[in-house]
Amino acid sequence: MKCLLHRIGTYLNKPRVRLAMGFIYLNTGILEVFEIATEEFLGFNMKAQHGLMIFGINQILISCTHIIDGLETIECVENEKS
């Protein structure tokens, strides 16, 4: 489990992944604005929640890796005190 979370954290901290996620967030924001404009003016109904779901999944995975790193640090400090 620890190895898997470390791999996920390493993957999510790569510049290419962060750049891709940035473009996804930017496109999601643009689609949200476009959705509001077209809904009000033209009556179209577009959805842009998928980008927000990707953002949420990304943040959850990053948070899990940070939590595991913190727990490992606490465990190392406790072992050093013993």
Triad 29, 56, 13: Cα angle to 5°: 95
Give the closest residue to 67 by CA, choosing from 6, 15, 17, 10: 6
pTM exceeds 0.75, yes or no: no
Residues 14-69 have pLDDT tens digits of 777 777 777 787 777 777 777 777 666 666 555 555 666 677 777 777 877 888 88
Burial class (CB in 10 A: 0-12, 13-18, 19+), 65: buried
Decide which of 6 and 38 is more confident.
6
Decide which of 6 and 46 is more confident.
6
- The pLDDT of residue 82 is 73
